[in-house]
Amino acid sequence: MNIHEHLLFLQAFLNNPKRVGSLLPSSRYLATKIVQFVPWDEVKSVAELGSGTGVITQLIKTQLTDSNNVFLFERDKKLRESLKVKYPDYMFHSNASYLIKKMKQENINQLDCIICGLPFFNFSSKMRTHILDQIVKALKPGGILVAYQYSLQMKKKYANHLIIEKIEFIPYSFPPTFVYVCRKSYFHKN
């Protein structure tokens, strides 16, 4: 990641810290760990919620073929515009609370995987519930959610809707991060 991307992220944080959630973008180490949890051979459609500077996006690109559907959601306009330049083949949207609507517009019924770095801690309870409902509806049965958070606050909410397969603490990240690996039940009804 270059200095320009760091400055873009810092500016986004300073403009709206509750929406960005962290002073620094995800580290390369954290991004590598997150991507390792995804069974890429099963993934044809994926969404990244809170793409930021694209640290994880860059690793997603190395795992996918050109025939894959990739949705990137980033609220900050400058970060989103920077991502569009780097990943012109991906679909860009600003608000993850419209995940299902945006999928329908692109004729995608369900996703195999969602990677989520949204700062749920900063969201209202209503917004957390709404976005989590969107995630659960978007995932196919057996689909995987890899979410990273700075606390265990979402553990109960994830467990109410998904099967938590693993929670890994990543201390070598700033701030230290919990990575949740969750799967939608094959028997889940939307």
pLDDT at 190: 57
pLDDT, one tens digit per residue, over 127-158 is 999 999 999 999 999 999 999 998 999 999 99
Helix 3-15 vs helix 77-86: crossing angle, to nearest 10:
150
CA dihedral 45, 48, 51, 56 (to 10 degrees): -80
pLDDT at 189: 61
pLDDT of 64 higher than 60: yes
User: Which has more pLDDT, 105 or 187?
Assistant: 105
User: Which has more pLDDT, 13 or 93?
Assistant: 93
pLDDT at 26: 54
d(CA 101, CA 18): 24
pLDDT at 2: 54
Residue 31 tokens read as 């991004």
Q: 181 forms bridges with which residues in the sheet?
A: 146, 166
pLDDT, one tens digit per residue, over 16-54 is 444 444 434 457 788 899 999 999 999 999 999 999 888
158 neighbors 180 (Cβ within 8 angstroms): yes
φ/ψ of residue 26, rounded to 5: -55, 140
pLDDT at 79: 87
pLDDT of 66 higher than 60: yes
Q: What is the mean pLDDT of residues 110-125?
A: 93
pTM exceeding the 0.75 threshold for the entire prediction: yes
